[in-house]
Amino acid sequence: MTISKERIKELQARNDDQIDYSDIPELNDEFWENAVLVMPDKTQMVTLRVKKSVLDTYKSLGKGYQTRMNAVLETYARGIK
């Protein structure tokens, strides 16, 4: 997902008291005592053939398109296990 420069400026102009945190739970000591570090899987360089239209679509989303493609593939792979 990309965000416009205008939207970034709008958000930067907000004061902290204008941010609604009501849907974000407080991270108290109990949370941190039970937190578990999960290291991400390592990636592996591969050669993969994909349709030009698919690649063009992801590239049009900007920087990080390969990461987004990988996230879709990973989500799919988790669903078929």
d(CA 65, CA 62): 6
End-to-end, the C-alpha distance of the chain in Å comes to: 28
> What sign results for the dihedral spanned by CA atoms 9, 14, 16, 20?
negative
Q: For 32-49, how does the pLDDT look when each residue is reduced to its tens digit (9 = 90+)?
A: 999 998 888 888 999 999
pTM over 0.85? The answer is no
Q: For 57-74, how does the pLDDT look when each residue is reduced to its tens digit (9 = 90+)?
A: 999 999 999 999 999 999
Length of the chain: 81
d(CA 61, CA 64): 8
Q: For 5-36, how does the pLDDT look when each residue is reduced to its tens digit (9 = 90+)?
A: 999 999 999 998 998 889 998 899 999 999 99
According to the model, what pLDDT value does residue 50 have?
A: 96
